[in-house]
Structure 1
Amino acid sequence: MRVSEQEAVESAAREVGAFLERRREQIAQRWADAPLFRAVFTVSRDEAVEACKAVLDALSEVASAGRLEDVAAPGFDRVRDQLGRMAGSRTRTGSSPAQIADEVAALRAPTAELLRAEPSDATAAEAAETMLALTVLMGTLRLVVMQTALSSGEALIARQRQQLLEVATPVISLWEGVVAVPLIGTLDSARSQVVMESLLESVVDRRARYAILDITGVPTVDSLVAQHLMKTVAAARLMGAECIVSGIRPAIAQTIVHLGIDLGTVLTRASLADALAYALSQQGIEVSPRAGGR
């Protein structure tokens, strides 16, 4: 790019920055009625106007610094903070990042309309350069907001996944001093960590002396799953609870032997009932059937 062209681009960027500062109130009033802001600030329009002004101040700073295409420009930090919360709110209500980005793109039209209406002594070429600079700036804003919306969506998914893991691994109190975790489905590293944390918290909260890990609903046991079970048993022992693994079916037992996994230090029982009976007997509690079979 020749020096004169570079100077023209920088001049256009500065002109956009000055325009955004000069027409801050008018642009904010128009943006406040746009779907992006109207959908978030449903109670007070004044709040929407103030939010628009905060974004415009940031854009003016970016443009005046000549960093129209730089998503890392310091001014965009405030945009991420303001529009990031809005994008997160829209994401939680079901809006996709693409929809949010389109709503941001729609902010260009009222802004460009005000720019064209500005009285100016600029030549046609200079006016076109300034309009191009505004378009580039709004395009960068769209990219920044889309990135923020995607990050917000990923964070929301991660939180929901964590919540589902916690719901899928409940700790049940079977008897005073006896808790159990019935495991169903595949065990991976993330879920195994949740199982360990939930079980240990329950051991402490309920002062449990016995903790049962029931794997009746676990379809397969490989070396990784066995390692997770061993770690959970060891952690429970450190907390003062004896851990019992129940529900080892014949097929799983054969797999464990075939893999050469040593569970010799782990107390096992065939079923959850057997594990509970063991825990009760260790506490001197004997459960007998009622007389007459009732």
Structure 2
Amino acid sequence: MAQDRSDRLLDLLTDGQSDFVERWIRTVTSSLAGRLTPAEVQQDLGELYQALLGALRHGGTATRGEEYGEVRSLLSELSRNRARQGFTPTETAISLFALKEVLEPALSGTGDLVAYLQFSRVLDDLGLYTVEVHAKAREEIIAAQAEQLLELSTPVVKLWDGIVGVPLVGTLDSARTQVVMEKLLQSLLDQNATHAIVDITGVPSVDTQVAQHLLKTVVAARMMGAECTISGIRPQIAQTIVALGIEFGDITTKATLADALRHALQRIDQARVPVAIGGQA
């Protein structure tokens, strides 16, 4: 009996395939308010409908079985694309659930309620799968965007021949410190720089943790043979550092980036003087 219902359901979906797919595309395009063209929707749904027929023919309604592998693969691709295009999980799932709306008149007209409910459960299960994939894709996109913003927020710029600068803006945490160190060390190597300036003018506050992160960056630069200066020490920052008992040791600090650059240029000139005298001698 169950096999008979499955066969009737499959025959109905196969016989009315062209009409069902056309109405499905029209319904989904309308629900997305023109954000995708009918051609784009057809590309997604036409192949998906064919895969659904194959899965029903060989795997019945067991959506987690390997017979539904192609269906899940197509749904994963659709969900990831919709996530990248800015569609919500609901809008993505509705694209699948719209097939129930299209098929309801034909399936309910057969009088076989069991077959209709079985196919509805299939679409419900697959709809939940699209939500899961969409959520995961969105998390990956957000993580990638956060990493890109982190890269953009920690630029290393060439200030002068042999001098590079890192203007920091915002809070300095462990993850950002790691990015700063990596970019600074690579820049020192690429530009053969001997001086690095870490400017904290844009850092709103300095606590013990932030100070430790700064010290790590300075130590890393020194290990590459570069002299490091911290600039942007405003009066409020200086008072906080003193109150917290934070020690920068022999690290040079300056009030402004201009002061730090002037200091670095003087150090470079001083380093060149013995070489010039030796040459004259």
TM range (shorter): 0.7 to 0.9
Aligned match for 2:243, one of 253, 258, 261: 258
Residues 46 and 220 (structure 1), Cα distance of their counterparts in 2 relative to 1, 3 Å cut: closer
Shift in Å, 1:246: 1.1
Normalised TM-score (structure 1): 0.74
- The answer to whether residue 130 in structure 2 is matched with residue 145 in structure 1 is yes
The correspondence for 2:95, drawn from 103, 124, 134, is 103
Q: Secondary structure at the match of 1:216?
A: strand
Aligned equivalents of 1:87, 1:115: Cα separation in 2: 27
Q: 1:236 to 1:141 in 2, by over 3 A?
A: same
1:84–1:145 CA contact under 8 A, matched in 2: yes
AA aligned opposite 1:157: I
Map of 2:28 onto structure 1: 35
Q: Deviations over 1:229-251 (max 9, x none)?
A: 12222222333333221112232
> Please, what is the CA RMSD of the aligned residues?
3.5
> Conserved in 2, the CA contact under 8 Å of 1:200 and 1:235?
yes
Quote the Cα distance in structure 1 between the aligned partners of 2:171 and 2:51.
48
What is the CA distance between 1:224 and its match in structure 2?
1.7
1:1-294 alignment to 2 at 5 Å? 11=2, 15=6, 19=10, 23=14, 25-26=17-18, 28=21, 30-35=23-28, 39=36, 42=39, 45=42, 48-58=45-55, 64=60, 67-68=62-63, 73-74=65-66, 78-116=70-108, 127-284=112-269
Q: Do 2:13 and 2:53's aligned partners in 1 also have CA atoms closer than 8 Å?
A: no
**In the superposition, relative to structure 1, how do residues 13 and 40 fare at CA in structure 2: closer, same or farther (>3 Å)?**
farther
**Conservation of the 8 A alpha-carbon contact between 1:31 and 1:52:** no
Rounded Cα–Cα distance in structure 2 between residues aligned with 1:12 and 1:258: 80
User: What is the deviation of 1:260?
Assistant: 3.1
8 Å contact kept, 1:21–1:60? no
CA offsets 1:137-159 (integer angstroms, 9 cap, x no match): 11111111111112222222222
Which of 253-262 and 51-60 deviates more? 51-60
Decide which structure has greater helix share.
2
Larger deviation, residues 183-192 vs 271-280 = 183-192
Distance 1:276 1:199 in 2: 16
Instruction: Give the TM-score taking structure 2 as reference length.
Output: 0.77
Long gaps (5+) in structure 1: 1-7, 119-123, 287-294
Tell me, what secondary structure is at the counterpart of 2:269? coil
The alignment partner of 1:107 has SS state of helix
Please say if residues 41 and 47 of structure 1, whose CA atoms lie closer than 8 Å, have aligned partners that are also in contact.
Answer: no
Provide the rounded CA distance (Å) in 2 between the counterparts of 1:254 and 1:14.
Answer: 80
Q: Deviations over 1:203-222 (max 9, x none)?
A: 23322222211001111111
- Cα deviation digits, residues 119-178 of structure 1 (max 9, x gap): xxxxx6xx2222111111111111111111122222222222222222222222101121
Residue 276 (structure 1) shift:
1.1
Bigger mean CA offset, 11-20 vs 164-173: 11-20
